[in-house]
Amino acid sequence: MARWENEDVSDLNLPDPEKIETTFIGLHGEETTEDKAMAKRVESSNGSVRFYVKYGRNELLDPHNADSSFAVARRRTHLYKFKKVSKDTFDNYTTYLKNKNRLYFTKARRLVMEN
Protein backbone atom coordinates (compact mmCIF):
# COMPACT_ATOMS: atom_id res chain seq x y z
CA MET A 1 0.00 0.00 0.00
CA ALA A 2 1.39 3.42 -0.97
CA ARG A 3 1.72 6.08 1.66
CA TRP A 4 -0.74 8.49 -0.05
CA GLU A 5 -3.62 5.99 -0.17
CA ASN A 6 -4.73 6.83 3.37
CA GLU A 7 -4.17 10.56 3.03
CA ASP A 8 -7.07 12.84 4.05
CA VAL A 9 -8.31 14.79 1.01
CA SER A 10 -11.47 16.27 2.57
CA ASP A 11 -10.01 19.79 2.57
CA LEU A 12 -9.51 19.79 -1.24
CA ASN A 13 -13.22 20.51 -1.91
CA LEU A 14 -13.46 17.85 -4.61
CA PRO A 15 -16.87 17.52 -6.26
CA ASP A 16 -18.92 14.39 -5.77
CA PRO A 17 -18.66 11.93 -8.66
CA GLU A 18 -21.40 12.16 -11.27
CA LYS A 19 -24.37 9.87 -10.86
CA ILE A 20 -25.20 8.14 -14.13
CA GLU A 21 -28.58 6.54 -14.78
CA THR A 22 -28.92 4.23 -17.78
CA THR A 23 -32.27 3.12 -19.18
CA PHE A 24 -32.28 0.20 -21.63
CA ILE A 25 -35.08 -0.13 -24.19
CA GLY A 26 -36.04 -3.60 -25.39
CA LEU A 27 -37.46 -5.19 -28.52
CA HIS A 28 -41.01 -3.88 -28.00
CA GLY A 29 -40.13 -0.48 -26.50
CA GLU A 30 -40.21 -1.63 -22.87
CA GLU A 31 -37.49 -1.19 -20.25
CA THR A 32 -35.19 -4.19 -20.12
CA THR A 33 -31.71 -5.36 -19.23
CA GLU A 34 -28.54 -4.53 -21.13
CA ASP A 35 -28.21 -7.89 -22.86
CA LYS A 36 -31.70 -7.58 -24.42
CA ALA A 37 -31.50 -3.86 -25.22
CA MET A 38 -32.01 -2.31 -28.65
CA ALA A 39 -31.48 1.26 -27.45
CA LYS A 40 -30.33 3.04 -24.32
CA ARG A 41 -30.63 6.45 -22.68
CA VAL A 42 -27.83 7.66 -20.41
CA GLU A 43 -28.54 10.59 -18.07
CA SER A 44 -25.93 12.09 -15.79
CA SER A 45 -26.48 14.12 -12.63
CA ASN A 46 -25.28 17.31 -14.34
CA GLY A 47 -28.31 17.17 -16.66
CA SER A 48 -26.68 15.89 -19.84
CA VAL A 49 -28.50 13.15 -21.71
CA ARG A 50 -26.99 10.86 -24.35
CA PHE A 51 -28.86 8.48 -26.63
CA TYR A 52 -27.64 5.23 -28.21
CA VAL A 53 -29.13 2.65 -30.58
CA LYS A 54 -27.89 -0.77 -31.73
CA TYR A 55 -25.86 -0.36 -34.88
CA GLY A 56 -23.92 -2.80 -37.02
CA ARG A 57 -23.05 -3.61 -40.61
CA ASN A 58 -23.20 0.17 -41.22
CA GLU A 59 -26.91 0.27 -40.45
CA LEU A 60 -29.41 0.41 -37.59
CA LEU A 61 -30.57 -2.92 -36.26
CA ASP A 62 -34.06 -3.69 -37.60
CA PRO A 63 -35.48 -6.29 -35.17
CA HIS A 64 -39.00 -6.31 -36.64
CA ASN A 65 -38.11 -6.83 -40.27
CA ALA A 66 -34.79 -7.53 -42.00
CA ASP A 67 -32.88 -8.60 -38.89
CA SER A 68 -35.74 -10.33 -37.07
CA SER A 69 -34.32 -13.85 -36.85
CA PHE A 70 -30.72 -12.70 -36.87
CA ALA A 71 -31.25 -10.12 -34.12
CA VAL A 72 -32.91 -12.50 -31.68
CA ALA A 73 -30.11 -15.05 -31.90
CA ARG A 74 -27.09 -12.78 -32.23
CA ARG A 75 -27.83 -9.31 -30.89
CA ARG A 76 -25.33 -9.89 -28.06
CA THR A 77 -22.42 -10.60 -30.38
CA HIS A 78 -19.67 -8.32 -31.55
CA LEU A 79 -21.61 -7.46 -34.73
CA TYR A 80 -23.87 -4.91 -33.06
CA LYS A 81 -22.67 -2.10 -30.82
CA PHE A 82 -24.39 0.92 -29.36
CA LYS A 83 -23.88 4.04 -31.45
CA LYS A 84 -24.45 7.55 -30.13
CA VAL A 85 -27.31 9.28 -31.96
CA SER A 86 -29.42 12.42 -31.71
CA LYS A 87 -32.60 12.66 -29.65
CA ASP A 88 -34.73 12.70 -32.81
CA THR A 89 -33.12 9.50 -34.07
CA PHE A 90 -33.61 7.84 -30.68
CA ASP A 91 -37.26 8.92 -30.49
CA ASN A 92 -38.02 7.64 -34.00
CA TYR A 93 -36.24 4.34 -33.35
CA THR A 94 -38.00 3.69 -30.02
CA THR A 95 -41.35 4.60 -31.60
CA TYR A 96 -40.61 2.03 -34.30
CA LEU A 97 -39.84 -0.57 -31.64
CA LYS A 98 -43.18 0.11 -29.94
CA ASN A 99 -45.44 0.47 -33.00
CA LYS A 100 -43.62 -1.52 -35.72
CA ASN A 101 -44.49 1.31 -38.11
CA ARG A 102 -41.76 1.22 -40.76
CA LEU A 103 -42.00 4.99 -41.33
CA TYR A 104 -40.28 5.67 -37.98
CA PHE A 105 -37.44 3.27 -38.79
CA THR A 106 -36.91 5.00 -42.14
CA LYS A 107 -36.80 8.40 -40.43
CA ALA A 108 -34.30 7.11 -37.86
CA ARG A 109 -32.07 5.64 -40.60
CA ARG A 110 -32.10 8.92 -42.54
CA LEU A 111 -31.23 10.93 -39.43
CA VAL A 112 -28.28 8.62 -38.72
CA MET A 113 -27.03 9.09 -42.28
CA GLU A 114 -27.20 12.89 -41.92
CA ASN A 115 -24.88 12.89 -38.93
Residue at 2 is within a domain:
no
In the predicted model, residues of the chain with pLDDT beneath 70 are 1-4, 67-78
pLDDT of residue 14: 82
Residue at 73 is within a domain:
yes
pLDDT of residue 3: 66
pLDDT of residue 5: 75
Residue at 52 is within a domain:
yes
Question: Which domain, by its residues, includes 77?
Answer: 18-114
Spatial distance between the Cα atoms of 98 and 37, rounded to a whole number of angstroms: 13
pLDDT of residue 69: 62
pLDDT of residue 70: 53
Residue at 32 is within a domain:
yes
pLDDT of residue 93: 96
Q: pTM surpassing 0.85?
A: no
Q: How far apart are the first and last CA of the chain?
A: 48
Residue at 13 is within a domain:
no
Residue at 10 is within a domain:
no
How many structural domains are present in the chain? Answer: 1
Residue at 6 is within a domain:
no
